[in-house]
Amino acid sequence: DSGVTQTPKHLITATGQRVTLRCSPRSGDLSVYWYQQSLDQGLQFLIQYYNGEERAKGNILERFSAQQFPDLHSELNLSSLELGDSALYFCASSGAGGTYNEQFFGPGTRLTVL
Amino acid sequence: GQSLEQPSEVTAVEGAIVQINCTYQTSGFYGLSWYQQHDGGAPTFLSYNALDGLEETGRFSSFLSRSDSYGYLLLQELQMKDSASYFCAAGYNFNKFYFGSGTKLNVKP
C-alpha cells in the first residue's frame, strides 16, 4: 500500500459525459501527478500540482482539467468524453521538497467510455 | 514531449541476469528513474540515477551514462515474481516527467 488513494476504482460512462476522478496523496506529500495509461501502453504524464499550484503540464487535453485543494487532495476532471479516453488513470505523489525521483502511485481509476 | 526508447519485450529464465536498456533525449535532462508494474497494478519505484554510474539495490541495479544519453536496469537472480513491465522515466527541466513505453519481462522456469 503506497498510501495514495484514488476513487472510484472503476467508472463506466457514455461518450459526451463528464467525470471527476479523486486522489488523496500520502500524508505530508505536497506534489500530486496525474497519468493516463491506455491498454498495453506506457504512462502519459498529464499534469503536476505542488502545494495547490499547477507546476507542470504534460500531454493533457483541453477537455481535461485538474486542481489541487488546500487539503492537498486533487481532482482530475474529464469532459466531453470520447471512446479513446478509456484508460487507467493514475495519481502519484511525492515528497515535500517537490522532488520526483520517487513517486508513489495510487491503485488507479479504470475509466470505460461506451 | 520527450521520447524514451526501451525494448518492448524481453524473455529470460529463472536465475539468469537481464538488462533492460533505455535511451532518452538529452536536452534539459536531469535524472532517470525505473518503475516496475505488474499486470493490473500500480507502478512502484525501483531506482533513480542523477549522476553517472551504477546504483545497486539488492538484486536490482541501475546505471546511467549522461554522455551517451543511456541507462539500463539490471536484474540479477531472476525470480518468477519479477515478471512484470519495467518503465524508465526521465525528468527534465520545468518539472516535466516522461515515461518510456515499457519493457515486458517474461521470466520462464
Alpha-carbon Rg for chain A, nearest whole angstrom, is 13
Interface contacts (A, B; CB < 8 Å): 58
pLDDT of A41 above 80? no
Residue B100 forms contact with A (CB below 8 Å): yes
The pLDDT tens digits of the residues spanning B74-108 come to 999 999 999 999 999 998 887 778 889 999 999 99
Q: What is the pLDDT of residue A100?
A: 53
Residue A53: all three cell numbers together: 499550484
Residue B59 forms contact with A (CB below 8 Å): no
Are the beta carbons of B102 and A44 separated by less than 8 Å?
A: no
Average pLDDT for chain A: 92
CB < 8 Å to B41, chain A = 107
The residue that leads in pLDDT, B68 or A99, is: B68
The pLDDT tens digits of the residues spanning A3-38 come to 999 999 999 999 999 999 999 999 989 999 999 999
Q: What is the pLDDT of residue B92?
A: 84
- Residue carrying the nine cell digits 507546476: A55
Report phi then psi at B67, rounded to 5.
Answer: -65, -25
The CB density around residue A70, as the number of other CB atoms within 10 Å, is 7
pLDDT band at A98 (very low <50, low <70, confident <90, very high): very low
Percent of chain B with pLDDT over 90: 80
Spell out the residues 6+ positions from residue A1 whose beta carbon is closer than 8 angstroms to its own: none
Instruction: Give the pLDDT mean for B49-66.
Output: 94
The residue that leads in pLDDT, A97 or B95, is: B95
Instruction: Give the pLDDT mean for B13-18.
Output: 97
What chain A residue is nearest to B100 in terms of C-alpha separation? A42
pLDDT of A96 above 60? no
Report phi then psi at A107, rounded to 5.
Answer: -75, -10
Spell out the residues 6+ positions from residue B70 whose beta carbon is closer than 8 angstroms to its own: B21, B22, B23, B24, B64
Instruction: Give the pLDDT mean for A48-56.
Output: 92
Are the beta carbons of A90 and B31 separated by less than 8 Å?
A: no
Spell out the residues 6+ positions from residue A98 whose beta carbon is closer than 8 angstroms to its own: A30, A31, A50, A55, B95
3-state helix, strand, coil in chain B (%, to 5): 5, 60, 35
pLDDT band at A91 (very low <50, low <70, confident <90, very high): very high
HSE of A113, CA atoms in CB hemisphere, 13 A: 18
Measure B14 CA to nearest chain A CA, in Å: 24
Measure B94 CA to nearest chain A CA, in Å: 7
HSE of A76, CA atoms in CB hemisphere, 13 A: 31
Instruction: Give the pLDDT mean for B49-59.
Output: 92
Percent of chain A with pLDDT over 90: 75
What chain B residue is nearest to A5 in terms of C-alpha separation? B42
Residue B107: all three cell numbers together: 521470466
Closest listed residue to residue B103, CA positions, set B22, B14, B29, B2: B22
Average pLDDT for chain B: 93
